[in-house]
Structure 1
Amino acid sequence: MTFDTYVKNADQHFSGWDFSYLSETGRMQSELLPWSYGSMTVSLVQQCESLLDMGTGGGEFLSMLQPFPESVFATEAYAPNVPIAANRLEPLGVTVKQVYDDSTLPFDDHQFDVIINRHESYAPDEVRRILKNGGVFLTQQVGGTDCAEINEALGVPANQEFAHWNLDFAVEELERSRFKVTYSRESFPAQRFYDIGAIIYYLKAIPWQIENFSVEKYNDHLQKIHQHIQKNGYFDVKQHRFILRAEAI
């Protein structure tokens, strides 16, 4: 297809946190991580009585963790996702709450046995407040150098606000907030795009990667990436992921 055809093809609706339009068609593929957040989460959910899923997106992941414990809550900060999550999760017995500030969550002290968090920001002191003594916080995070090659290819500096965000920094933060980190690991898996339309769709879905992104604004750079893919078959970037399991002490 031509560049213009790929651009038109990328104009698709995106909802929740579902990249299946790219991943299920093989237009974007990611290298496997050396851990499974899902496997670690399933084990925790089946052993707890009260659970919080922070940043549930559209509730896609949480909905697959049934059977649930007696008390289950989910939070979401991105307003368009809140009704999507509520429609999916509330019939399953999950209470969905919109949040506005990481440091002020709408929960009681020591309310949860387990708090899970996949790619959502958090305030360590607030997580510790709502987690029971001996409770578990499990989080997989996107590090500060994630997909930096996209920024480089588009001539945009990486967002320095998150440059510090890596495993070591997160461990130190949690330890200062009365957590004991029992498992941690960091990885930089490859993410491969097979057409320029996939990259455009991806950037529209994650607006924090390239602020005020538009095809018109970055047309020349996108054309060069398109030519690179036409010649080599793909465009590779490095993701930045780390995972932490911590117990409240």
Structure 2
Amino acid sequence: MKKEQFDYRVFYEEVGKENGWNFDKLQVKTEGIGWEFYQEVLKNVRKSDCLLDLGCGSGEQLTKIATSLFLMVGIDLSHSMIEKARKPSQKNVKFFQMSSEQLQFPNDFFDIVTSRHAPFSAKEVAGVLKEAGIFMTQQVSEADKINLKKAFGRGQALESQDGQLKDDYVRDLEEAGFTSVQTYEYDAAEYYQRPEDLLFLLKYTPIIPKFGEYPDDLNRFEDFVAAHQTEKGIVTNSKRFLIVAKK
């Protein structure tokens, strides 16, 4: 029997219409985070720099650091995400619907390119990045939310070997001509304060594909909450890796 494929493009389009990409209202406490991505980005930029962000979603995180750069450009494949991003846009921030697999910008244009939890093409990034420019990406590791995925018997990258995505990206960047590629990892504990916080996460992310469409999803969710409730909250994990590459 052919394995059913989950259409991530359709999923993100629907998320954009309903929610954008804003999880600020979630009540969740985290222990063991190794960094905050856009704060790491700020350490590598100058006021005169032009930045391109791949998979910008509805732009909330990007606009928070806009005053630190000369120009910021965000792209996303989702039309609804871009429409949300444009509404509160600042003068030096521009948003375009575009695929990261085919960047429509001049060669050697950007000082820094970023990608947070979004796919990228190392070759395309190298093309639009200036000589000695920096590419930074934070990605979700295969072992992220591992207890949730096991509880549901399905999940994003559940059957993949942990660390494979990071290794693949490093190889692609080196083959694209990046001279320095550094990697970092953390595996933090997350404590969701209420069941509704965890429900929100599962509804608006692809951690458990088609969450709520399987007959036993609600029972599995209730069992998970009961089994992983602690004094600090409902516990799961947040595993991330960071790549910083210099052209």
Amino acid corresponding to residue 21 of structure 1 in structure 2? K
Q: Is the 8 A contact 1:228 1:234 kept in 2?
A: no
- Classify 1:15/1:70 alpha carbon distance in 2 versus 1 (closer, same or farther; 3 Å): same
Aligned residues: 229
- Deviation of the 1:40 alpha carbon: 2.2
- Deviation of the 1:67 alpha carbon: 2.1
Q: Distance in 1 between the 2:181 and 2:146 partners?
A: 29
Q: Distance in 1 between the 2:200 and 2:124 partners?
A: 34
Instruction: State the partner residue of 1:4.
Output: none
**Per-residue deviation, residues 136-186 of structure 1 (Å, max 9, x unmatched):** 111111112211211111222553586464433322221111112353211
- Classify 1:110/1:229 alpha carbon distance in 2 versus 1 (closer, same or farther; 3 Å): same
- Deviation of the 1:83 alpha carbon: 0.9
Instruction: State the partner residue of 2:29.
Output: 29
Q: Distance in 1 between the 2:218 and 2:204 partners?
A: 18
Answer yes or no: is 1:167 the counterpart of 2:171.
no
Q: Secondary structure at the match of 2:136?
A: strand
The 5-angstrom pairing of residues 91-106 of structure 1 reads 91-99=90-98, 101-106=99-104
Relative to the length of structure 1, the TM-score reads: 0.81
- Classify 1:66/1:232 alpha carbon distance in 2 versus 1 (closer, same or farther; 3 Å): closer
Q: Any stretches of 5+ residues in structure 2 without a counterpart?
A: 1-16
Q: Distance in 2 between the 1:211 and 1:37 partners?
A: 25
Amino acid corresponding to residue 41 of structure 2 in structure 1? T
The 5-angstrom pairing of residues 186-201 of structure 1 reads 186-201=185-200
Instruction: State the partner residue of 1:131.
Output: 129
- Deviation of the 1:247 alpha carbon: 0.8
Instruction: State the partner residue of 1:149.
Output: 147
- Classify 1:231/1:134 alpha carbon distance in 2 versus 1 (closer, same or farther; 3 Å): closer
Give the counterpart of 1:210 among 187, 208, 213. Answer: 208
Q: Distance in 1 between the 2:160 and 2:95 partners?
A: 28
**Per-residue deviation, residues 47-69 of structure 1 (Å, max 9, x unmatched):** 54321122222211111113254
Q: CA RMSD in A?
A: 2.5
- Classify 1:230/1:245 alpha carbon distance in 2 versus 1 (closer, same or farther; 3 Å): closer
- Classify 1:122/1:146 alpha carbon distance in 2 versus 1 (closer, same or farther; 3 Å): same
Instruction: State the partner residue of 2:109.
Output: 111
Identity of aligned residues (%): 23
Q: Any stretches of 5+ residues in structure 1 without a counterpart?
A: 1-12
Q: Distance in 1 between the 2:174 and 2:213 partners?
A: 43
Amino acid corresponding to residue 203 of structure 1 in structure 2? L
Q: Secondary structure at the match of 2:79?
A: coil
